[in-house]
Every structure is written in C-alpha cells, then in structure tokens.
Structure 1
C-alpha cells in the first residue's frame, strides 16, 4: 500500500472530481476503480481512490515518478479521446493538482503514514489557495513543529503538500473519526495553545481561497502489486 513521506521522490497528483449525487458518485468510483485496475503506465507508482462523505465527489491520490511521466500519460491519444470525454459525462468539474510532499506529522503511536482501504481513517483534504509570492511563507507556517497535536484526541497524521503551480497548498489529514476531527476543527481559538493561535493568525490573511471535504478510502493499488512481467 502507498506511504506518504517527503523523501520518496514521488510527484503526488490529486485528481479531484465533483459530481451531482451519491448515485453518481458510486458510478464515478466504480469507473475509476476499473481504470486503476488497468494502470501500468511508465512512471506510475500508486493510486488511492477516496469517496466523498460530506459532498458527492471523488479524490484520487496518485504517486508518479516524475512530471514527465504524468505528461506522457495525459498526452496519450486514448486518454484525450476516450478517458477525458467519459469523465466529462460523469462529473461536474475535474481538477488536477500537481504537488510534492514537503512535511508530515504523525502521532507517536504510528511508525509511518499509510493510506488504503484496509484502514479506517477519516480523511480530510483541504485545498488552500495562495498568491505565489506567499506560498513559501504559508508552507513554512504549516510545517512548524507542533507537539500539541500529539495530545489532540483522534489525531493520526497530516501531510503538507506544496502545489507545483505555486498558487495552492494542500493539507491531507487522517483522523480516528468525524467526532474527533469536528471537535478539533471547531475548537475555540482561546482554547488553543498560543503558538497555534499565532500560526493560524499569520496564515489566515495569506489565503486567497479555502475548500475542503471529508473522505473514506475505497480502493488502492500500486505498481508493487503487479507481477514483475506486467510492469
């Protein structure tokens, strides 16, 4: 199963798909699972499919060897003439975010950050828009050491990913359950430690947009799962 770490050299791509209803989401997820099952593209390392909980949507967390490998896949005739038109029928919008993992934080009880349907993570993906001139500062703020998170009930991990286009930062977080996440998310500012309040106050003016959704992982496959002759 895939692991999230800043030092594995992977390009991380978020393919985000919005759709209209839970039924449409199921069709979308089934279609994407079939595509992931057939993945054997040069440079492809893994795909982990997430189904939206609060809003009908899907997120595919994909690890590639390089941007060049990604471009080769998306410039292929089959992708342009078959895959893209098919997804335009199933979705209301599609977003592709090219990122790199710059920092991870995990609970002391965990040895690494793993993603897959064999786990029961309550996953939150937050996309934060930022002016390119402020991206480095926003990343710096979100990657500051924060031992307090070790004491937050239900926290498992979070990973900060820098958008290669320069105008966004992604926070990918894992929690025990919705209740734990909501308790943390809605915690009054006065109940947070001083360093956390200062970080949030400094980060807030840098954001040009913020969107988030909650997810469960429904399917995952990696190149390591394939027989050697099929790679």
Structure 2
C-alpha cells in the first residue's frame, strides 16, 4: 500500500490532468493500463490514481526512489511510447515535490483506495515559496482541530512555483464543516498575497502496489 513519505525518502511526482467529465473514466483506465509498464521500471515505488468528485480532474500521485530513476523512466522513449494514449489529455499541473510539512505526528499516512482527499494547489513565485511553507506549518494545527481531518501534508515543488496540500479526510461532510465554521476562516486567508489557490475534492480509485 502506498504511503506519503513524511521524511522525504522518495521523490514525489504529482501529475494533475484537466479532463471533460465524460472522459474522466477513460483517462483513469488509460493511466491504469500504462501503470502495468511503469511499475516494472527500476526505481518505481508507487502510484495512486485520484478522481475529482466534480469530474474535471484526474491526479496521479507517484513516488520514485530518486530523481535519477525517474529521469531514466521519462527519458526511455520505448517506455513512454506505451503511454501514447495519455497525450490525448491535457496536463493541468506537473511537478516534482518534497514533503515539507506533515501533521499530526502520529497520523496514518497510507494512501488507500476509497480514501477521501482535499487537494489544495498553490501557485507561488519562487521567492515566496518558503514563506508559504512557514505559514502552512503555522496554520495546519488549526485545521486539525476538525476531527474529520486525518492528516495534512504540504508538498513543495522542487522548481519553486507550486505547493500542494494533500489533506486526508474521514468524510466530505467533515470537510464541508471546516468550510462553513467561522473559526476556520483564517485557513482561507493565510496565503493571500503570496499565492493563487485552487482546490478540488478527490477519491482514490486505484493504487499500485494495491492495498
């Protein structure tokens, strides 16, 4: 079963596709088919496929042993040709990440099929990225006062222009409670002036290795 690498012992690659709702499942099937090839590549650790509840996003949360292994994979033209079908779909965001904040300390960080995820994307200038990380670390304990939030996991893109919060939830009703409760309002404001924010709610639909 895949797990979020809290101590950055792997390279995390997050690919987010923008898709028409009518083709969301087609894209998921194409990724899963390609994974049969990908999982055989040296240095592959895991892949977790997520579909957004609104139907307009598909996200692959992948892990590799290191950057060298991942670079060898994407440079292998024979392997990449096996994923030709994926080129029919638009990539919304694609970056390499390290996990920089993960709370609570005793959280279960397994990624399992059926898991409910809030993915918040922050587009940021490189000079503001680490300040945003500091604020994420400061404000995450407030979010964790909601008992429905299992863990918050902030990722910093290695190119300096993107941060992601991968929040694991017990139910979407718990997330909606956070949105509505005034005491959590600072969570929608701390990044103002530093980043542009977009979020979607996802369900984990496939994991490799399987759970």
CA gap 1:37/1:79 in 2 versus in 1, 3 angstroms: closer
> Secondary structure of 2:138's partner?
coil
Identify which of 138, 142, 146 aligns with 1:144. Answer: 138
RMSD value over aligned CA atoms? 2.2
In the TM superposition, structure 1's runs of 4+ consecutive aligned residues that sit over 6 Å from their partners are: none
Unaligned runs of 5+ in 2: none
Cα deviation digits, residues 184-231 of structure 1 (max 9, x gap): 12333xx34xxx73x764421101x22221111111113xx7xxxxxx
The aligned residue for residue 109 of structure 2 is 113
C-alpha distance in 2 between matches for 1:94 and 1:146: 26
Q: Does 1:87 align with 2:86?
A: yes
1:40 shift after superposition: 1.3
1:73 shift after superposition: 0.8
C-alpha distance in 1 between matches for 2:144 and 2:21: 37
Unaligned runs of 5+ in 1: 226-231
Cα deviation digits, residues 51-88 of structure 1 (max 9, x gap): 121133211110111112111111111244442x4212
The aligned residue for residue 43 of structure 2 is 43
CA contact (8 A) 1:5 1:104 kept: no
1:151 shift after superposition: 3.0
Matches within 5 A, 1:155-166: 155-166=149-160
CA contact (8 A) 1:13 1:63 kept: yes
Cα deviation digits, residues 160-186 of structure 1 (max 9, x gap): 001101011110011111111122123
The aligned residue for residue 96 of structure 1 is 94
> Secondary structure of 1:219's partner?
strand
Q: Does 1:205 align with 2:201?
A: no
Number of residue-to-residue matches in the alignment: 209
CA contact (8 A) 2:18 2:90 kept: yes
The aligned residue for residue 31 of structure 2 is 32
The aligned residue for residue 2 of structure 2 is 2
C-alpha distance in 1 between matches for 2:118 and 2:140: 19
C-alpha distance in 2 between matches for 1:26 and 1:97: 23
CA contact (8 A) 2:8 2:99 kept: no
The aligned residue for residue 228 of structure 1 is none
TM-score normalized with structure 1 length: 0.81
Identify which of 117, 122, 134 aligns with 1:123. Answer: 117
